[in-house]
């Protein structure tokens, strides 16, 4: 909301009224005033210029996301959906761990995958939540991206980075760092990251962090190019 809108007047009304006034006065100041208005209110937020091309907010359903691993007795089941209690009480997806072994992940639908080269150097962000005793957390690969020939994974810095029992936000930059690894558990180079991003066939986000039973949720997945 702009400063004018707070007073029940839109920015456009202000511009039009200003134009009319100065047109009547035939003032040379008109272009200057319009430029100032545009600079002040036309670009009020730099983030508006960053277009997330890939986004999943789960407003209506699980949107094709599945669960892979042991949760709920099998792999590639559709994620459970809740229309509320997600971020800002919006919809989100979740799974319950039935503790049959293995580690379960949220798996992104194919429509969000493929050539993601545009996001090299950009960010992947999402929110996680867990419902568990939080007393027996374990390390594992936290985010996995792969195709037929390549696999990279991201590992959070430490267990304190694990999701809390309230929504916990994550932002991963898609460049070589000490948190991205290749399948040999060596730090992944930018070439290795880009080789996966050029054709992503699977994208997994870890949903369970607790040995034994737990429930994990995911909301507001976004890829940004910068
Ligand atoms: Ca949501
Ligand atoms: Ca578990």
Longest CA–CA separation in the chain, Å: 79
The pLDDT score that the predictor gives to residue 40 is 47
Lowest-confidence pick of 53-57, 138-142, 163-167: 53-57
Closest of 91, 2, 80, 77 to residue 42, by C-alpha: 2
What pLDDT does residue 74 have?
A: 57
What CATH number did the domain enclosing 114 receive?
2.60.120.260
* Percent of the chain surpassing pLDDT 90: 64
pLDDT at 118: 95
For residue 65, the CA-to-ligand 2 centroid distance in Å is 19
Top pLDDT among 190 and 68 is at: 190
The pLDDT, as a whole number, for residue 69 is 81
Q: What is the number of helices (H) and of strands (E) in the chain?
A: 3, 13
Q: What is the mean pLDDT of residues 158-184?
A: 94
Encode 33-102 in three state secondary structure.
HHHHHHHHHHCCCHHHHCCCCEEECCCCCCCCCEEECCHHHCCCEECEEECCCCHHHCCEEEEECCCCCC
Q: What pLDDT is attached to residue 98?
A: 74
Residues 13 and 58 in one domain: no
pLDDT-wise least confident of 11-15, 149-153, 169-173: 11-15
Q: What is the extent of the structural domain holding 28?
A: 5-49
Statement to judge: residues 96 and 28 lie in one domain = no
Task: List pLDDT tens digits, range 19-43.
Answer: 454 445 555 555 544 444 444 444 4
Ligand 2 centroid from CA 140, angstroms: 12
Closest-CA residue to 55 (of 128, 2, 123): 123
The token pair at 140 is 């594992």
Run of H or E residues at 150: none
Say how many Å lie between the CA of residue 110 and the centre of ligand 1: 19
The proportion of the chain whose per-residue pLDDT surpasses 70, expressed as a percent, equals 74
pLDDT value of residue 30: 53
Neighbours of ion ligand 2 (CB under 5 A): 97, 208, 210, 214
Q: Kindly identify the ligand whose nearest atom is closest to the C-alpha of 90.
A: 1
- Collect residues with CB below 5 Å from ion ligand 1: 57-58, 86, 90-92, 219
Residue whose C-alpha is closest to residue 226's, from 170, 171, 159, 169: 171
Most confident listed range (53-57, 70-74, 141-145):
141-145
Rounded to the nearest whole angstrom, what is the distance from the C-alpha of residue 96 to the centroid of ligand 1? 18
Note the ligand closest to the C-alpha atom of 81: 1
CA of 123 to the centre of ligand 1 (A): 19
27 and 75 co-located in one domain: no
Q: Which ligand is nearest to the CA of 218?
A: 1
What are the backbone angles phi and psi of residue 161, rounded to the nearest 5°?
A: -85, -5
Indicate whether 42 and 128 sit together in one domain.
Answer: no
Number of domains forming the structure of the chain:
2
Q: The tokens of 19 are what?
A: 């134009």
Clarify whether residues 186 and 89 are in a common domain: yes
Statement to judge: residues 108 and 20 lie in one domain: no
CA atoms within 13 A on the CB side of 104: 35
């Amino acid at each position: 909301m702009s400063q004018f809108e707070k007073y029940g007047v839109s920015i456009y009304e202000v511009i039009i009224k200003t134009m009319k006034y100065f047109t009547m006065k035939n003032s040379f100041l008109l272009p200057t005033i319009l430029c100032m208005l545009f600079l002040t209110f036309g670009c009020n937020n730099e983030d508006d210029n960053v277009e997330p091309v890939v986004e999943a907010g789960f407003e209506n359903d699980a949107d094709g996301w599945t669960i892979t691993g042991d949760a709920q007795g099998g792999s590639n089941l559709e994620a459970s959906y809740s229309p509320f209690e997600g971020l800002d009480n919006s919809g989100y997806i979740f799974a319950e761990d039935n503790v049959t072994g293995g580690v379960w992940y949220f798996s992104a639908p194919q429509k969000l995958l493929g050539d993601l080269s545009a996001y090299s150097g950009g960010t992947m962000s999402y929110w996680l939540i867990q419902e568990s005793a939080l007393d027996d957390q374990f390390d594992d690969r936290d985010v996995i991206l792969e195709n037929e020939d390549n696999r990279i994974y991201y590992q959070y810095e430490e267990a304190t980075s694990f999701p809390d029992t309230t929504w916990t936000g994550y932002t991963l930059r898609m460049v070589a760092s000490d948190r991205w690894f290749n399948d040999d558990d060596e730090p992944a180079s930018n070439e290795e990251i880009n080789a996966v991003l050029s054709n992503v066939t699977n994208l997994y986000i870890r949903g369970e962090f607790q040995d034994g039973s737990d429930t994990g949720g995911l909301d507001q997945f976004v890829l940004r190019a910068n």
